[in-house]
């Protein structure tokens, strides 16, 4: 006991000077701020988000900053290689290697991504195409969320026979390969921007429906629903109010994963010749066109492929980060 030095008031009660009834826990952060913090700390997700923003911006302003339009056919500028100011001085993207050279009246022309076989500027076409690919994917996914939610809600809420029938329908649609559905639908519906969206939509809603239904079933079991029902509240209203916040995170994550998927399917359709009809372009149709001359002018296919790859990678990275941020239980330890 000798190694302790005691002070005068050591053996007095602290008494009311300390409030023993407060829980000394870490200050809790608001949910969204917490999510944002976690998201920020995930480098991959952050890079993905930044790349997506850059690509979206380029898709919007890219075509505006050059003096070309996406469907201006000009045979005299056929298959010119990419030429970018500054970079050309480094011997990279200096306009050599194409069919037509940057000479004569085009000595001062710059096609950042070159031109295609019809002499259309690829910079404009790539960003126009990106815009269309993004538009197709985003609209398909938004409609998916909507349909899936309604389907899952109805199926889970009514239960019984309704649920049974709806589940079987869902199972059957799910057991036909997406690829088969997509190709057949587009055979029937002559490809256009909107039919492609519809085709993607038909196969994409199932995941959303499943999440919603599972959540409805879970919430239906909970006691507060029973309690509110005895008080005379409409349970549809209760479930709707209780479900939305619960599946919000999952739906966001799911749609983030679905967007690259939809982009891929769109590209795939274009690649098998069921894409957006010319002269409009999507990333897929650009890749398809460029592929025909892959051995002579590889840039025509390489550039849209890189944009597509970055886009899909970024969305996946961001979705990963988002999932971890919204559901941190999966991480740590």
Partner 1 sequence: MDKSTLKYIVKRIVMAVLTLLLIILILFTLMKFMPGSPFNVEKLSPALIARLEAKYGLDQPVFVQFFNYLKGLMVGDFGISLKLMKGIEVSSLVSSRIAISFGIGLAAAAVGTAIGVVLGIVAALHKNTFWDTLATVVAVIGVSIPSFVFALVLLLIFAVQLNILPVLYDVNTPIKSAIMPTLALSVGAIANVARFTRTEMIEVLRSDYILLAEAKGLDRGTVIRKHALRNTLVPVVTVLAPIIINLMTGSMVIEKVCGIPGLGMLLVAAIQGNDIYVVMAVAFLYSILYVVMMLIVDVLYGVIDPRIRVGKGD
Partner 2 sequence: MAERDRILKIRDLKISFKTGNGSFQAIRGVDFDLYKGETIAIVGESGSGKSVTTKAIMGILASNGHIDSGTIDYAWYDENTGERHERDIVQMSKDELQKEIKGRKIAMVFQDPMTSLNPTMTIGKQIMEPMIYHYGKTKEEAYQRALELLNEVGITDAEKRMNNYPHQLSGGMRQRIVIAIALSCDPYVLICDEPTTALDVTIQAKILELIKELQVKKGISVIYITHDLGVVAKVADYVNVMYAGKIVEKGTIDEIFYEPRHPYTWGLLSAMPDLDTDDDELYTIPGSPPNLTQEVVGDAFAPRNQFALNIDLRLDPPMFDVPGSNTHQVASWLMHEKAPKVEMPESLKRRIQRMKKEGAK
- The partner in contact with residue 298, picked from partner 1, partner 2, none with C-beta cut-offs of 5 to 8 angstroms by kind, is partner 1
User: What is the C-alpha separation between 111 and 117, in angstroms, rounded?
Assistant: 13
| Long-range Cβ contact pairs of 196-200 (< 8 A, separation 24 or more) | 196/136, 196/266, 196/269, 196/275, 196/276, 197/136, 197/139, 197/140, 197/143, 199/269, 200/136, 200/137, 200/140, 200/262, 200/265, 200/266
- Nearest CA to 268 out of 167, 99, 137, 150 is that of 137
For residue 175, state whether it binds partner 1 (rule: CB under 8 A): yes
Choose the stretch contacting partner 1; rule: CB under 8 A; options: 147-155, 167-175, 195-203, 228-236. Answer: 167-175
Does 44 help bind partner 1 (rule: CB under 8 A)? Answer: yes
Q: Does 28 bind partner 2 (CB under 8 A)?
A: no
Binding to partner 1 (CB under 8 A): which residues in 250-279? Answer: 260, 264-265, 267-268, 271-274
Contact assessment for residue 264 and residue 136, using Cβ atoms and an 8 Å cutoff: no
Distance CA 248, CA 145 (A): 11
Q: How far is the CB of 180 from partner 1 (least distance, A)?
A: 5
Nearer to partner 2, 177 or 328 (CB): 328
b/e per residue, 300-322, with b = 16+ CB within 10 A? bbebbbebbeebbebbbbbbbbb
Among 2, 7, 28, 105, binds partner 2 (CB under 8 A): 7
The 3-state DSSP class for residue 115 equals strand
Q: For partner 1, which residue of 55, 134, 185, 325 counts as binding (CB under 8 A)? A: 185
Two tokens at 24? Answer: 């000394």
11 binds, among partner 1, partner 2, none (CB under 5 to 8 A by kind): partner 2
> Which of 166, 133, 175, 126 shows the shortest CA–CA distance to 147?
166
- Is 330 near partner 2 (CB under 8 A)? no
- Options 13-21, 121-129, 206-214, 269-277: segment touching partner 2 (CB under 8 A): 13-21
Residues near partner 1 (CB under 8 A) are: 44, 171-172, 175-180, 183-185, 187-188, 190, 260, 264-265, 267-268, 271-274, 291, 294-295, 298, 301-302, 305, 308-309, 312-313, 315-317, 320, 333
Residues near partner 2 (CB under 8 A) are: 1, 4, 6-7, 9-14, 18, 20-26, 332-333
């Amino acid at each position: 006991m000798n190694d302790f030095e005691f002070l005068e008031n050591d053996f007095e009660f602290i008494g009311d000077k300390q409030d023993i009834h407060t829980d000394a826990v870490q200050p809790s952060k608001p949910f969204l701020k917490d999510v944002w913090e976690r998201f920020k700390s995930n480098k991959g997700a952050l890079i993905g988000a930044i790349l997506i923003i850059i690509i979206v911006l380029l898709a919007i302003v890219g075509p505006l900053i050059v003096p070309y339009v996406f469907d201006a056919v000009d045979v005299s500028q056929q298959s010119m290689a990419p030429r970018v100011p500054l970079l050309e001085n480094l011997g990279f993207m200096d306009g050599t290697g194409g069919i037509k050279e940057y000479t004569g009246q085009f000595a001062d022309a710059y096609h950042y991504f070159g031109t295609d076989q019809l002499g259309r500027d690829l910079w404009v076409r790539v960003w126009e195409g990106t815009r269309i690919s993004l538009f197709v994917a985003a609209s398909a996914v938004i409609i998916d969320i909507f349909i899936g939610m309604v389907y899952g809600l109805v199926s889970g809420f009514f239960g019984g026979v309704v649920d049974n029938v709806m589940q079987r329908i869902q199972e059957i649609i799910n057991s036909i390969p997406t690829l088969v559905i997509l190709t057949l639908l587009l055979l029937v519906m002559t490809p256009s921007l909107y039919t492609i969206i519809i085709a993607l939509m038909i196969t994409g809603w199932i995941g959303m429906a499943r999440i919603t239904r599972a959540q409805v079933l879970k919430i239906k079991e909970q006691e507060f629903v029973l309690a509110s029902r005895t008080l005379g509240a409409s349970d549809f209203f209760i479930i709707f109010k209780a479900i939305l916040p619960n599946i919000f995170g999952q739906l966001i994550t799911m749609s983030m994963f679905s967007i690259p998927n939809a982009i891929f399917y769109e590209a795939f359709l274009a690649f098998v010749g069921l894409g957006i009809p010319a002269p409009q372009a999507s990333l897929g149709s650009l890749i398809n066109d460029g592929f025909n001359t892959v051995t002579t002018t590889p840039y025509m296919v390489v550039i849209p492929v890189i944009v597509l790859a970055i886009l899909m990678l970024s969305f996946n990275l961001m979705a990963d980060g988002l999932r971890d941020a919204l559901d941190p239980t999966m991480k740590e330890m």
